[in-house]
Amino acid sequence: MSFDFLNSVSDFLISLLAILFAISIHEFGHAFVAHLNGDDTAKNAGRMTINPVNHIDPFGMIMMFLVHFGWAKPVPVNPYNFKNEKIGNLTVSFAGIFFNLISAIVFALINKYVPMVSIKAVTYSLVMYNIGFAAFNILPIPPLDGWNIIATFLPRETVNKIYEYSRYTTILFIVLIMTNAFSFILNPIYGFFYRIVMLFL
């Protein structure tokens, strides 16, 4: 068995671990903040957990491997249960991105101060994928978090009308990836979040 093969397997497993964590902490963030706002829909559905099995979307997982950006199954939320609907919608929409960035900061600090090379390989991957997941999800495209943040301030009729076209989102993502427009759009956002994380080091 060659050394290159072992390295490839190791890299794959590290990436898999990082992707599963980034997905799980993101969706846990949504569910937890929804719970804080008075809605236990996600909690009752078993989504207030960092167990990745409860969150994985197969196609979104594949995209994470291919382009370092992807998505999970949406966390079910009932905004009518929120103590304040607008504040609830806004904070829940921000929550996944926030939890990814906090995770990236924590793992960046571990990467800086833990001398073991094997640990650094894992923490570096965790930093990169958490930033990537945050950058992707802040895009203002339904049903991503960035769109949900904007939708908080729009009339309900407008939101419902735009949601009618959300079924074409996957096609849009594929076109963006194939034309390299995806990287053109996301790289500046990724770089911005990366600089935010580095401020804490």
Q: Which of 27, 85, 157, 164 is catalytic?
A: 27
CA distance 60 to 78: 23
Nearest alpha carbon to residue 34 among 126, 145, 116: 145
CA distance 82 to 99: 20
The yes-or-no answer on residue 85 being catalytic is no
Angle ∠(91,67,151) on CA atoms, nearest 5: 25
Q: What is the phi/psi pair of residue 9, to 5°?
A: -65, -45
CB 169 within 8 Å of CB 143: yes
CA distance 30 to 90: 11
CA distance 126 to 121: 9
Q: What is the phi/psi pair of residue 142, to 5°?
A: -65, 140
Quick one: DSSP state of residue 70?
A: -
Catalytic residues: 27
